Each structure stands twice: as structure tokens, then as C-alpha cells.
Amino acid sequence: MRIVICEDSVLLRAGLERLLTSAGHEVVAALPDATGLLDAVRPGVDLALLDVRMPPTFTDEGVRAALELRRRDPHVSVLLLSQYVEHSYAADLVAQHPHGLGYLLKDRVADVGDFLEDVDRIAAGGTVLDPEVVSQILVRTRRSQPLSDLTPREKQVLALMAEGRSNGAIAAALKVSPGSVEKHVSAILLKLDIPNTPDENRRVLAVLRYLES
């Protein structure tokens, strides 16, 4: 996998480069800010790994750069790795481009192996969102009650879907059977009036409905 890193901390940038290289990936550029990012992410780059707050203002440079990357090429995968949740753009990024997207909080990455698995999953088109990211986006974006028909359990299932979890992972988290989760997912899709498209697309549409509520 070919990766571009954009991180202002020299120690973290070097650590990520070493970690990803040792896992067999190619780091084609390791940048201290977003000024050269668009030029670095050229055809053939599989993933851009970005901090959210970088020079010059240390506010939202990374997530704005991610939005610009996805506008230019919706197929490039993006992983935001930060200490912060940048609400004003994060919700837009998730809603507009859920595939090949990750948003993880640095302090909550507890296992190197899990992190590398998340990198692979995002590069393959998956979605990986830290639960705290989902929670904060939902707090900010909840303006109405379009999900009022869902039961409390269905809302739990939908929240876990928003974190990118599979039915098996949801079943494990809620300590129920996979068959029970499948029934809840079917009920959610029906109640939200999600059109009959391929299953994975329907799940994404349900999550977007949740994030927009």
C-alpha cells in the first residue's frame, strides 16, 4: 500500500512512517503540514493519513484538506488521526464520503495490530470511526427526531453501524446472537424507508440518516 502521512509532530510522523514501513507499506511522503498534500497524493497513492490540527492555525487544516482530497478524488482513502473531533467539517466528511474513511483519536488507539488492521480496512474502502467521534458528531447534528420510530435497541444497533461494525461485531458488543442483529438491521432499514439497494449501500444510507438526524 502507498501512503502519504501529514503530521506536524516530528516524533509521531517518524513513528508512523517506521510502523507502516515495517508492516510492508510504502510511505511516499511524510509532510509536516498540509501545504504540499494535494501534490503528494497523486494517482497510485492508496491512503492519506492526516492529523486534524496542523500549522499554521492548528485548528482544522487536516480535515479541510481531507474534504478537498475527497472532492478532487472520491476514491482516495483518508484516515484522520487526531486528539480532537473537529465537528464543523467532520460531519460533512462522514456524510458526503463514508467509504474509505477513518477518524480515530490518538489517545484511544490502544493496540498497534488493531491500528494496522484499521489502516487496511480503510484503504480497502471500509469505514472506521472512533465511538467518541460518532457521539460528538451526533450531539452536534441532532436537530430533529426522524429516528423516533426506532426502538432503543435498534438505535443501539444503528449507532454501532455508524462506527463501521459488522453484524458479528455488533452482536458481540451487545451480547446477542448475529441472527438477532440481522433482524434489527432489517427493521431499521424498513423504518427508515431505505431503498432496496445492495446491502452494504443500504447500511451506509442508514448511517447517513442517523448522522443527519
Handedness of CA 91, 27, 30, 110 (dihedral sign): positive
pTM: 0.67
Alpha-carbon gap, residue 78 to 14, rounded angstroms: 19
Contacts of 118 (CB under 8 A, 6+ apart): 79, 102, 104, 128
- The DSSP element (H or E) to which 38 belongs, if any, is helix 37-40
Rounded distance, CA 42 to CA 106, Å? 26
Local confidence pLDDT in tens for the 213 residues of the chain: 999 999 999 999 999 999 999 999 999 999 999 888 888 998 889 999 999 888 888 888 888 888 888 888 888 999 999 888 876 677 777 777 778 989 999 988 889 999 999 999 999 988 888 887 777 766 555 544 567 788 899 989 988 888 778 899 999 999 999 999 999 998 888 888 775 655 556 777 677 667 666
- The CATH number for 144-212, chosen from 2.170.16.10, 1.20.140.10, 3.40.50.2300, 1.10.10.10, is 1.10.10.10
Record: fold of 2-140:
Rossmann fold (3.40.50)
What single-letter amino acid sits at 207?
V
